[in-house]
Amino acid sequence: MPSKHPLVELIAGERGTAIFLAVLVVVCVIVPVLHALPESSALHLSTYTMTLIGKYMTYALLAVAVDLIWGYCGILSLGHAAFFALGGYAMGMYLMRQIGTRGVYGDPLLPDFMVFLNWKELPWFWHGFDMFWFAALMVIVVPGLLALGFGWLAFRSRVTGVYLSIITQALTYALMLAFFRNDMGLGGNNGLTDFKEILGAPINAPSTRVALFVVSAAALAFGYLACRYLTISRAGRVVQAIRDAESRARFIGYRVERYKLGVFVFSAVLAGIAGALYVPQVGIINPSEFQPINSIEVVIWVAVGGRGTLYGAVAGAVLVNYAKSYFTAALPEFWLYALGAMFVAVTLFLPRGVVGLRKAAPA
Amino acid sequence: MNRMLYLEDISVSFDGFKALNALTLYIDAGELRCVIGPNGAGKTTMMDVITGKTRPDAGSAWFGQTTDLLKLTEPEIAEAGIGRKFQKPTVFEQHTVAENLQLAVAGNKSLWATLFAPLSAKQRERIDEVLETIRLQDRRDIRAGALSHGQKQWLEIGMLLAQEPRLLLVDEPVAGMTPQEVERTAELLLSLAGKHSVMVVEHDMDFVRSIANKVTVLHEGRVLAEGTIDDVQADPRVVEVYLGQ
């Protein structure tokens, strides 16, 4: 092993990572600066665009989480959007409680949809969400606990491959059906929306948007580096060994289930954080976030970018979502075909994704 | 002599087919034992039982005086000191030779330890030693997938050694090797006996002759004959099973 300082290895040990971090820092500085320019300036960046980039960053964090579990551990989770949505709901509940008397019905305690349903009391699980720290904790705890319970059952029974993928789809589908019901007490099919304030700051104010943007970028950077640390540690090698030859790893003494569970839970927590940052920027969370197709889309981002690299996941998330933003505005009925075509093309011609192009090209 | 492994009256059946039928077999400490037998004799199933992959329907399996193998999971058995080399070479192809050994080397294998603790000096020393034993020092930083078939087999034996097991189970180590490679593998296995107990499953009779002092013949899930290679080859029952007279 060439003995570089571990921190240097973490940040600059690999070209793709170094480029990604440099781009992220530049974007994180330039976007707020351009946004601060007067609107008459040609270089002015609208709040809309900045929020869009912030949203992409939360998608990128979700993609990194999926790449960690799929690209490195070989577990194709087709339910990661569920963890994203749960993190989003935890944040949404906090934002709902911040509305207070400014709702349509002006009830100091109950969110509008509960008044509409003629509820008299706040359900037990809504308590505590008026405090930001509690909501922030739930953003981590709820997806983490679900992943722990689900993963413990699945990995202990040695459910792998396509069977595992199918039950992760079932998981997110079941949650979607549950969240659609009004008596879940989470807003039914309308979800949670009409937010006013976050930590006392008006949620639509440009300055709040800048803060959300910067926090999203920071979360992406930390999430990325945590995953990178994991993948270059000895544990990362074990995880990749499990991916390549699971029973062999077991026979040399690794408790494969615990490794899988650890990585799965960590990945779910990252997805939850991404969801929590997504919700205040888009202003709504509803059960459609649990749609099975959403989780599949994330996998496509990672495949398009190039799995098992982390930075490929970021690239894929940004590229595909940029294409989506473009297509859904220009040719809305064409988008799903384009997405499918993209996936097929990448599978056939770019098995290592867009970032694999650089490696494949002759030096 | 000190006994290392006790298999007594082990039976395993798959959908009515008796893969092992009241198999009884003992391995001594430091012994190098070859196990031979026609296809379907139960050799691989026996290894599966010892390493915890298959649970027998009946019988007992003890490692030393105190370790009941039937109560342990695969990683626990590995930790207790039994290492296994598979029939097909299964090294981690995406990892380098040195990384393969790092993965295997004895030590704390919990998630916490591998996340935060670097390899100890002793572990690194051990890896260098093993690299020397399997003669792959100059290949340490290449991907294991790029090794030749024979080198992969050695690497896999090296991974076993790095685990510092007391008992090594080696399934068909010379299948597909060139004669020179076979010779070196025989040397390697002979050098291991004494320090470790080694059980080798092999079809190649010349190879068996070159390494074993004691041979066990399995047939239809039980021990047919046991003794020196000459005794065994002279045994009419063995001849019948092998040549189908």
pLDDT tens sequence across B114-138: 999 989 999 999 999 999 989 899 9
The per-residue pLDDT for A357 is 84
Contacts of B78 in chain A (CB under 8 A): 250-253
Cα A132 from chain centroid? 20
Contacts of A253 in chain B (CB under 8 A): 75, 78-79, 109, 163
Q: Do A238 and B114 touch (CB under 8 A)?
A: yes
In angstroms, the CA A147 to CA A262 distance is 9
3-state class (DSSP) for residue A283 = coil
Across A26-48, average pLDDT: 93
A239 in contact with B, Cβ within 8 Å: no
Residue B21: which of B226, B245, B206, B220 has the closest Cα? Answer: B220
Nearest CA in chain B to A262: B111
pLDDT band at A230 (very low <50, low <70, confident <90, very high): very high
Nearest CA in chain B to A246: B92
A240 in contact with B, Cβ within 8 Å: yes
Contacts of A244 in chain B (CB under 8 A): 92-95
Residue A253 corresponds to which amino acid?
Answer: G
Walk me through the domains of chain B, giving residue ranges and CATH numbers: 3-243 (3.40.50.300)
Q: Do B115 and A252 touch (CB under 8 A)?
A: no
A146 pLDDT exceeds 70? Answer: yes
CA angle B156, B162, B163 (to 5 degrees): 95
Across A309-315, average pLDDT: 96
Residue among B79, B104, B111 whose CB faces A235 most closely = B111
Express each pLDDT in A234-246 by its tens digit.
Answer: 999 999 999 999 9
Is B57 within 8 Å of B31 (Cβ atoms)? no
Q: Do A233 and B86 touch (CB under 8 A)?
A: no
- B93: distance to nearest CA of chain A, Å? 8
A156 in contact with B, Cβ within 8 Å: no
Share of chain A above pLDDT 70, in %: 98
Mutate to test the interface with A, among B110, B111, B153 (most CBs of A within 10 A): B111
pTM of the model: 0.90
Contacts of B117 in chain A (CB under 8 A): 234
Cα A152 from chain centroid? 22
A to B CB pairs, distance under 8 Å: 72
The per-residue pLDDT for B50 is 95
Contacts of A240 in chain B (CB under 8 A): 92, 94-95
Q: Do B75 and A250 touch (CB under 8 A)?
A: yes
Task: Please report the ipTM that was assigned to this predicted complex.
Answer: 0.86
Q: Do A254 and B75 touch (CB under 8 A)?
A: yes
Q: Do B74 and A230 touch (CB under 8 A)?
A: no
Mean pLDDT score of chain A: 93
- B169: distance to nearest CA of chain A, Å? 11
Nearest CA in chain A to B103: A238
Q: Which residues of chain B have pLDDT under 70?
A: 1, 243-245
**Residue B191: other Cβ atoms inside 10 A:** 10
Across A132-153, average pLDDT: 98
Bridge-based pairing of strands B3-14 and B17-28 is antiparallel
Name, in order, each residue with C-beta under 8 angstroms of A332's C-beta and a sequence gap of 6 or more: none
Contacts of A235 in chain B (CB under 8 A): 111, 114-115
Express each pLDDT in A269-286 by its tens digit.
Answer: 999 999 999 999 999 999
Contacts of B152 in chain A (CB under 8 A): none
The per-residue pLDDT for A13 is 84
Largest distance between two CA atoms of chain A: 69
- Which uninterrupted H or E stretch holds A102? none
Residue B195 corresponds to which amino acid?
Answer: K
In angstroms, the CA A320 to CA A302 distance is 10
Extents of the domains making up chain A = 45-294
Across A4-25, average pLDDT: 89
A59 pLDDT exceeds 60? Answer: yes
The per-residue pLDDT for A360 is 54
Residue among B51, B78, B114 whose CB faces A233 most closely = B114
The per-residue pLDDT for B245 is 47
A85 in contact with B, Cβ within 8 Å: no
Share of chain A above pLDDT 90, in %: 83
The per-residue pLDDT for A363 is 37
Nearest CA in chain A to B52: A251
In angstroms, the CA A56 to CA B138 distance is 46
